[in-house]
Amino acid sequence: MEPTREVVIIGCGPAGSTAANLLAAAGRDVVVVEREVFPRFHVGESLLPCELPLFARLGVEIDGRQFQYKQGAEFIDERSGDRVFFSFAEGLAGTPTHAWQVERAIFDHLLADAAAARGAEIRYGEEVVAAEVSGEHVDVRTDRGSIRARYVIDASGQAAVLARLWRSVEPIREMGRAAVFGHFFGLSPEVQEELGALGNVKIFLIEDGWLWAIPLVGGRLSVGVIKWRGKIDEALHEREVAASPILRRLTAGAERTPLRLLSNFSFRNQRSHGPRHVCVGDASCFLDPIFSSGISLAMLGAEKAVDLLIPALVAGDEGRAELMAPHADHMRIAYESFEQLIRRFYHSRMIHNLFFAAEPDPSLRRGLISILAGDVWRDDNPFQAILAGSGRRRQSAAG
């Protein structure tokens, strides 16, 4: 057993790097255990504007030569011919006006290096296999040894290490069940110029699901298919891309990487915080990638958790069971807002009618854009209020 550390973090993705960075910057002793060796491939390339202010706090500068500027999101239904573009700049006052499309191998390594530069210890290629919380400490066992700490943050993403060790995973039904995806590379110069002008993510509506098309620097296009029911495999990806006139044109003459499959990813962690532990990012909850909220909520959630943890470490009362209750309340606002939006995207005409309305209500449209930008912690969004009300009615009916 090593000498006791202050904080051990499981996972060095965006959430883990954010937590490690802020803890180290505050002079706290922190060690990060990451099972992969960076840089490594990861899906989820589309960021939201809401995290832009956090980059400055992390001391991270986003380089437009590495990452694609993103002005907004475009929704397309080729079956009906409907098409609409939402610019983040058209959201409610105060909503940040742009975001970035990133290659996760580069982006995640950039965040991890920034955390290390501030003093965080990062151990790559080490996997957590067990964790036990007691009254005075937490013991984390890895495939290389054991670490005793005063506190543990699970930022392990879809692996959800603590949730799976403690069997606290609760699947979320009737949302995206699985995804199949790959990168097209060698796009034509004309297509690169077209996609790079605004850098928008394109969302294609299909039966029981949707496709994403995310432009990346270097003449690449990330394309994935997600459905909430039905068979999801490589044949589905090939079939849906071939069925889309727009995607056929964009990828004409391009090559494609081998396809990857990610399944069973919509879930909640029923034990996301408690004595001496908190789970952040996907390790706490993952809804659906339709509105690209995963990375943003992971990083902002890690920031909120650390801001609660630092003074507790100083005071020596980090073992309080309810230390992270304010974090859970804060994140619940975001998760519930996006969950209601996602459910209506899949299972009602409400979102479709608002997205493609010929003359949408201006205030509701601005409110929708602010949610799409991840700007959900405000009390002046009329569209968010509608979602919250419908969510309460749904919960009451279920109860």
* Cβ partners under 8 Å of residue 223, min gap 6: 181, 182, 183, 184, 211, 212, 213, 214, 237, 241, 247, 251
Residue 391 in this model has a pLDDT that exceeds 60: no
Residue 337: closest CA among 283, 296, 306, 308:
296
User: Phi, psi (5° rounding) for residue 303?
Assistant: -60, -45
**Percent of the chain predicted with pLDDT > 90:** 83
- DSSP SS3 for 160: coil
pLDDT the model gives residue 390? 61
Mean pLDDT (whole number) for 1-29: 94
Q: What is the dihedral of CA 195, 197, 200, 206, to 10 degrees?
A: -40
**pLDDT tens digits for 343-378?**
888 887 776 788 888 888 999 999 999 999 999 999
The CATH number of the domain covering residues in 178-263? 3.30.9.100
Residue 399 in this model has a pLDDT that exceeds 60: no
pTM above 0.85, yes or no: yes
Residue 237 in this model has a pLDDT that exceeds 70: yes
Measured N-to-C along each axis, helices 294-315 and 14-25 cross at an angle, to the nearest 10 degrees, of 30
Residue 254: closest CA among 192, 168, 172, 313:
192
pLDDT the model gives residue 112? 98
Every domain of the chain and the residues it spans: 5-66+102-170+266-346, 178-263
The CATH number of the domain covering residues in 5-66+102-170+266-346? 3.50.50.60
Residue 172 in this model has a pLDDT that exceeds 60: yes
